[in-house]
Chains A and B, each alone.
Chain A
Amino acid sequence: MTVASKGEIRANNRKLAMTGWMFILPNFIGFAILTLVPVLVLFYMSFTKWNIFGGSEWIGFDNFSRLVGDESFHTALFNTLYYSALHIPLTLLASLGLAMLLNTKLRGLAFFRTVAFFPYITSIVAVAVVWNMLFSPEVGVINQALMAIGVSEPPGWTSSTTWAMPAVIIVGTWREAGYYMLLFLAGLQTVPKELYEAARTDGANAWQQFTNITLPCIRPTTFFIVIILTIQSLKVFDLVLVMTGGGPGQATLVLSQFIYNQGFVNNDFGYGASAAVVLVFIALAVTMFQFVVNQRRDA
């Protein structure tokens, strides 16, 4: 056995590293061109005044100080947090509940799983049109039902500044619960059956099994879902746009729409970019916080 010289080891390591790079290269090129470069340009744009045509003018932190005093931006920020604060826990509960239900032995299991997943793959425009009809204050099914059970003044839903956001949250939860259910189902299948058998032998009831076995075992899945769900909620756009268009007034104006309006309606791309940068940092901060909490629990 000859011992490899230092040079050979280094060459070999380099080769290995190159091989690794080659494997991720196809994906990385796409990521770099379509995501990384635009994001870097976005950061640059946020410090400029740019109407898309011609050159941009460097204005330092002017865009950001303008955001601080912009009440529409405050409204959009508040609405985005409002949406997230309700949408994340509701979707989490709904998807976990569905996953628990559909993780049992049941006749027609595949059918029910498909039904639960269906909203997620339905066209968002169709979803918005149908839900809007259901929410119609005077002739909609929901308010007819509410009046039938004795609610004398049912909410105006998408046509009321107070109820538009709850209406959007309900539809958002309904739409996305099926997707996260699928992820939870995958997590639930990894929980060893023996643990439940042992627990039952020890006389643990269903709730005790859930809190002491199920939840700890699926924690990696839950963590992943919370992160994805948080980011998705913070950048909610299409659902709001097609359901309410941000209205009535600014009742459902969210950050993504504020960014879109500044850029593509007002042709103020620099200002829009600065709001996008704020959104990036909010998402980053929340995600980092979640990572830290998760690591503490692991320790």
Chain B
Amino acid sequence: MRHTTKWSVGLAAVAALALTGCSGNAATTAPAATTAPTTATAATTAPTAAPAPVTLTMAAWSLSSTPEFKTITDAFTKANPNITITLKEYKAGNDYDTQMIADLAAGVAPDLYVIKNLNNLFTYQDGKQLMDVSDVAAGYDSKTSGLPLYQVGGKTWAIPYRQDSWYLYYEKDMFDKAGVAIPDGKWTWDDYAAAAAKLSKGLGGGDVYGAYLHRWQSTVQSFATAQTPGASILSGDVTYMKPFYDRTVAMQNTGAQVKFATSSTNSLTYQSQFGKQKAAMLIMGSWYVASYLASADKGDAIKFNWGVAPVPQRDSSTFDKPVTFGDPTGIGINPAIGSDKVAAAKKFLAFIGGQDAALALSGIGIVPAYTSDAVTAAFSALKGVPTDTLSKFTFGTHDTKPENQVSANNPKIQAILNDMNTSIMSGSSTVDAAIAKAQARIKAEVLKN
């Protein structure tokens, strides 16, 4: 009798474990299994009548604080009432790609997913995790910027809906207070450094600086790569970054901008440095326009008189069409999508790079991939966006080079260059030594394999 009790307890435990083990699995696979057949039958039974309802899923991040995904899917559903797109929230930042890759490998990723930047496009394409959308791309013209960057092997693998570019943000009142002339759209990096030094002096020092440069490697490296003719990180030769680093190291050593070490140990944010008037100038991407306006409305940033200028140039030859950088943001189709949903998904991609999507996006302060005078006007008409001539020129005229190259080596080289950036900017290594070390590592760890 005692033995049977023990046995039954043991068996019950096993059964419980087996059940809980199963339920975890069932939760993820069940919805896909049940929705696919119903939509399939709907599509086959009524091919010619009113379009059957289709529900697509799409991966995106930080849904509560990033309204662009809902804006674009709502605008699409308004034009195509039979297609609904459900957003699935993923982690933000670099974790987005990690989680996305894991879900794709496990076969549980949504039908559509956002390609956050070009860094991982190759990984997805090479891993056969993107559907060929060349037919959709053929419907677009050169007004949809960034589209050619999504080509690998002559085929297009995703469609851009958003194209950020980097600008120079400045606060006019602080310039006036320091008695420094505001940017005129014809600044080289040396002009920028000189103005920052004068501003720091004129603003009385303390924790207020002429400029704030955020800790990302791109704030130095991507300008060097975009503006130096013929430069590419994939070559493994990055000596062209030296003048850019020499200048920025001198700027932080002479107090023209806050030191990298102070910025990183105190976890400074660019939003608070510029928004709380700790710096008169900030080099940052176009997303900061909407971000600053929102935080000024909420009281997280001070409301002040600001403007936008082109980023400083390497020399005067590019003042007419300033060279800056920025990756497009695109959306691709998961090849595991049900065959009955492909047409709807392609219809969505045919929408996101066009004028209607662009107008919806610029209405919330996002710079869309599609460019036209109407879109620029819609962007400038937003409440609070600077409307002076230079700001308008900056929004409308620029040559935006990609931050990343579509190549298997790109993520690896960027990681090595990030180590180089922290070595130089923290003052741990001289510019020459850090560049030499990075080049040696690229050669040994990336180009050799």
Q: Can you list, as one digit per residue, whether each of B96-108 has a CB less than 8 Å from chain A (1) or not (0)?
A: 0010011011000
- Are A159 and B261 in contact, CB atoms less than 8 angstroms apart? yes
State whether the Cβ of A91 lies closer than 8 Å to any Cβ in chain B. no
The A213-253 residues at the B interface (CB cut-off 8 A) are 245-251
* A29 shortest CB reach to chain B, Å: 5
Q: Is A161 an interface residue (CB 8 A)?
A: yes
Knowing A25-B13, A54-B127, A266-B415 are in contact, say whether A248-B262 is a contact too (CB < 8 A): no
B127 engages A129 (CB within 8 Å) = no
Quick one: CB contact mask for B133-165 with A, threshold 8 Å, 1 for yes? 000000000000000000000000000000000
Is the beta-carbon distance between B127 and A137 smaller than 8 angstroms?
no
Of B42-50, B241-249, B304-312, B416-424, the one touching chain A: B416-424
Across the interface, name the chain B residue whose C-beta is closest to A53: B127
B residues in contact with A249, CB < 8 Å: 419-420, 422-423, 428-429, 434, 437
CB-CB contacts below 8 Å: A236-283 with B: 245-251, 261, 264-267
Asked if B21 CB lies within 8 Å of chain A CBs, one says yes
Are B423 and A248 interface neighbours, CB within 8 A?
yes
Asked if B105 and A53 make an inter-chain contact with CB atoms under 8 angstroms apart, the answer reads: yes
Answer yes or no: B259 CB below 8 A from chain A CBs: yes
For the complex, give the distance between the alpha carbons of A159 and B259 in Å.
10
B266 & A248 in contact (Cβ 8 Å cutoff): no
Across the interface, B441 reaches (CB within 8 A) one of A72, A129, A136, namely A72
- What's the Cα separation between A248 and B9 when bound, in Å? 56
Q: Which A residue sits closest to B423, measured CB to CB? A: A249
Contacts A54-B128, A248-B428, A250-B419 given; does A22 touch B265 at CB 8 Å: no
Q: Which of B98, B262, B420 touches A139 (beta carbons < 8 Å)?
A: B262
Residue of B nearest to A264 (CB): B98
Among residues 9 to 55 in chain A, which have CB atoms less than 8 Å away from a CB atom of chain B?
Answer: 15, 19, 22-23, 25-26, 29-30, 33, 51-54
Contact B129 A53 (CB under 8 A): yes
Q: Please, which residue of chain A has its CB at the minimum distance from the CB of B418?
A: A247
Cα A250 to Cα B426 in complex, Å, equals 12
A159 touches B265 (CB 8 A): yes
Cα distance, A126 to B133, chains bound together (Å): 45
What residues of B have a CB within 8 angstroms of the CB of A53 in the complex?
101, 104-105, 127-129
> How far is B411's CA from A161's CA once the two chains are assembled, in angstroms?
24
Known: A22-B10, A52-B105, A52-B127. Is A161-B423 also a contact (CB below 8 A)?
yes
Residues of A within 8 A of B98 (CB): 264
Judging by beta carbons under 8 Å apart, are B415 and A265 in contact?
A: yes
* Interface: B383 (CB within 8 A): no
Instruction: Assess A71 versus B261: contact at CB under 8 Å? Given A249-B428, A267-B101.
Output: no
Q: Which residue of A lies closest to B438 (CB)?
A: A249
Q: Are B265 and A71 in contact (CB under 8 A)?
A: no
- The interface residues of chain A lying within 8 Å CB-to-CB of B264 are 132, 158-159
B420-449 CB mask vs A (1 if < 8 Å, else 0) is 101101111100001001000100110001
How far is B40's CA from A54's CA once the two chains are assembled, in angstroms?
A: 27
Asked whether A139 and B10 contact (CB < 8 A) given A72-B445, A156-B261, A251-B428, the answer is no
* Interchain CB contact under 8 A, A248 and B426: yes
CB neighbours of B339 from chain A (8 A): none
Is residue B303 contacting chain A, with contact meaning CB distance below 8 A? no
Contact of A266 among B7, B411, B428 (CB under 8 A): B411
B261-A33 in contact (CB<8A): no
Q: Which residues of A contact B437 (CB under 8 A)?
A: 249
Question: Which of A158, A245, A267 is close to B123, meaning CB atoms less than 8 Å apart?
Answer: A267
Residues of A contacting B6 in the complex (Cβ-Cβ under 8 angstroms) = 19, 22
Asked whether B26 is an interface residue with its Cβ less than 8 Å from the other chain, the reply is no
* Known contacts A66-B449, A70-B445, A266-B411; is-contact A26 B17 (Cβ 8 Å): yes
Give A51 to B123 CA distance when docked, in angstroms.
Answer: 8
Residue of chain B at shortest CB distance from A132? B265
In contact, B429 and A51 (Cβ under 8 angstroms): no
A157 within 8 A of B: yes
Which of A29, A54, A135, A248 is the one whose CB lies under 8 Å from B422? Answer: A248
B8 to chain A, nearest CB (A): 10
Residues of B within 8 Å of A54, CB to CB, are: 127-128
Chain A residue nearest in CB terms to B127: A53
Q: How far is the CA of A249 from the CA of B7 in the complex (A)?
A: 59
B117: shortest Cβ distance to chain A, in Å? 14
A239 to chain B, nearest CB (A): 16
Give the CA-CA distance A20 to B6 in the complex, in Å: 10
Shortest distance from the beta carbon of A43 to any chain B beta carbon, whole Å: 20
Q: A138-B262, A248-B428 are in contact. Are A71 and B444 (CB under 8 A)?
A: yes
- Name the B residues within 8 Å of A103 (CB-CB): none
Q: Which residue of A lies closest to B425 (CB)?
A: A248
Q: Does A160 interact with chain B (Cβ within 8 Å)?
A: yes
Please name all residues of chain A whose beta carbon is closer than 8 Å to the beta carbon of B449 when the two chains form the complex.
66
Q: Which of A22, A139, A156, A265 has the most CB of B within 10 A?
A: A265
In the complex formed, the residue of A with least CB distance to B412 is A266
Interface residues of B in 236-260 (CB under 8 A from A): 259-260
Q: Once the chains are docked, how many angstroms separate the CA of A189 from the CA of B159?
A: 68
Are A133 and B265 within 8 A (Cβ)? yes
Q: Mark B32-58, 1 if CB is under 8 A from A, else 0.
A: 000000000000000000000000000
Residue B14 lies at the interface, judged by CB distance under 8 Å to chain A: yes
Query: Is A132 touching B21 in the complex (CB atoms < 8 A)?
Result: no
Cβ–Cβ contact A137 & B262, under 8 A: yes
List the A residue with the shortest CB-CB distance to B123. A267
**Contact status A161-B262, CB under 8 Å:** no
Q: A137 contacts which of B104, B265, B429, B434 (Cβ < 8 Å)? A: B265
Task: Please name all residues of chain B whose beta carbon is closer than 8 Å to the beta carbon of A162 when the two chains form the complex.
Answer: 428
A89 contacts B by Cβ under 8 Å? no
5 A-B pairs in the complex with CB atoms less than 8 angstroms apart = A22-B7, A54-B128, A66-B449, A160-B426, A249-B429
A-B complex: 3 closest residue pairs judged by Cβ atoms? A53-B127, A159-B261, A22-B10
Taking beta carbons and an 8 Å cutoff, which residues of B are in contact with A? 3, 6-7, 9-10, 13-14, 17, 21, 98, 101-102, 104-105, 123, 126-129, 259-262, 264-267, 411-412, 415, 419-420, 422-423, 425-429, 434, 437, 441, 444-445, 449
